[in-house]
Structure 1
């Protein structure tokens, strides 16, 4: 089980839901890039994605929705 995901949330406005979605999208990007380059991934894509967020290689940017503006 991955524990560093709690380190991704550094500011109070980020939710666990947004972290899960962002990690899933990043993992898909990693898989697609590996397939394009005909590479075999030794580590799981989700592990690599979480590590990217922990290392600040990728950041989560949340946009405001209309509901939040009301």
Structure 2
């Protein structure tokens, strides 16, 4: 079983959203996609603040999201960074 649960992970990721704003993550699908993208980055050689020896990349990605080490950007934020 995945720990933390999907609902706990979604709450943590959306914790910094101001009241009245749309949450960054709205569904399990969104959190799964974000974790998978981060896991692919780790597989590709991206640095992590967490010790990754002996851990699977997806486990590290989920832990980073839960700890707040990695942020998920909304589509609007992502386009602003590209500019």
Q: How does the TM-score come out when normalised to structure 2?
A: 0.59
Q: Paired residue for 2:2?
A: 2
Q: What is the CA distance between 1:7 and its match in structure 2?
A: 2.1
Is 1:27 matched with 2:39? yes
Moved beyond 3 Å, runs of 4+ = none
CA deviations over 1:15-66 (Å, ceiling 9, x no partner): 21110000000001111117xxxxx9411111000000001001222226xx
Rg larger for: 1
Q: Paired residue for 1:53?
A: 65
- Size of the aligned set, in residue pairs, is 59
Please, which runs of 5 or more residues in structure 2 have no aligned partner?
Answer: 15-21, 47-51, 77-83
Measured on the aligned residues, the alpha-carbon RMSD in Å equals 2.3
